[in-house]
Amino acid sequence: MSDRLRPSSDSTVVSEAVTLLERVRATPPLTHCITNAVVTGFTANVLLATGAAPAMVDIVGESGMFAGIASGMLVNLGTPTPEQRAASREAAEGASTAGTPWVLDPVAIGALPVRTALAQELVALRPTAVRGNASEILALAGLSGGGRGVDATDSTDDAAEAAAALADRYGSVVAVSGPVDLLTDGERVIRIANGDPQLTLVTGGGCALGAVMAAFLGAARATGISALGAVAAATLVYTIAAERAAAASGGPGSFAVALLDALAGLQPEHLVAAARIEESSR
């Protein structure tokens, strides 16, 4: 970990994270999730623990309508059945029409052709944010063949230029997950060094973060906090909760439960004390 990513108590990211966490809890954002079958329950529980209101609406004929009702939306391509693919297209178009902020998580794209083509189609609809590991971001930018399924074979720094290019091309915030998360809107770059390796040992550990980002984007509406600020705030809240969960657990099973408890119990002072952030211009 870089010495520059030191604890920070006066960062804009920290103050915005405090504001948005309090707002999520006070006025739970209705968070529409089209996500993969492996993680649906865990994702819903993470949203509830954070303070948001989850809704898993992935039926054609309903997903587009619901995208206009929701505060924020996630489209995760982990198990893209034919029904989900059609529902994802409908929902993305509905969100774009209604102005609902939404997150695209292009899970395991690159080597797998069906989801790769779908991800390219959806990113052209200009999601508010794109979240993925380094290999997925490189593949979405057309610069690699992807990683090993859901596992990255590239580092976040390897994907920095690809993330910036995607942000410039589609007007999206791009969040590259890894030991140090890298987030950019094409102009600003934020690195967050919080988190714990046990997140990679729990099914849905990364996917649920995309849902939290969608919730925070929904909560940020009309606050003046930018999309980059909302995505960074979600990342900070989630990764600091993961650190606290790891300290209270004995392995992946108890960690998954402890993560829910840590999210529910997270306080502003925890964010201020634990944040490890670097902010820069591109």
Residue (of 220, 257, 213) closest to 238 by Cα position: 213
Q: Are 31 and 70 within 8 A, CB to CB?
A: yes
Q: Are 57 and 34 within 8 A, CB to CB?
A: yes
1 marked as part of a ligand binding site: no
Say how far apart CA 23 and CA 33 lie, in whole Å.
Answer: 20
Burial annotation 142-160 (CB, 10 A radius, 16+ → b, else e): eebebbeebebebbbebbb
Alpha carbon 200 to chain centroid, angstroms: 15
Residue (of 182, 133, 131, 132) closest to 154 by Cα position: 133
Q: Could you give the dihedral angle defined by the CA atoms of residues 122, 221, 183 and 139, in that order, rounded to the nearest 10 degrees?
A: 0
65 marked as part of a ligand binding site: no
221 marked as part of a ligand binding site: no
Which residues partner with 55 through β-bridges? 32
Which residues partner with 33 through β-bridges? 74
Say how far apart CA 47 and CA 92 lie, in whole Å.
Answer: 20
Q: Which residues are annotated as a binding site?
A: 56, 131, 177, 204
Binding site for ATP, residues?
Answer: 131, 177
Residues placed in the known binding site for substrate: 56, 204
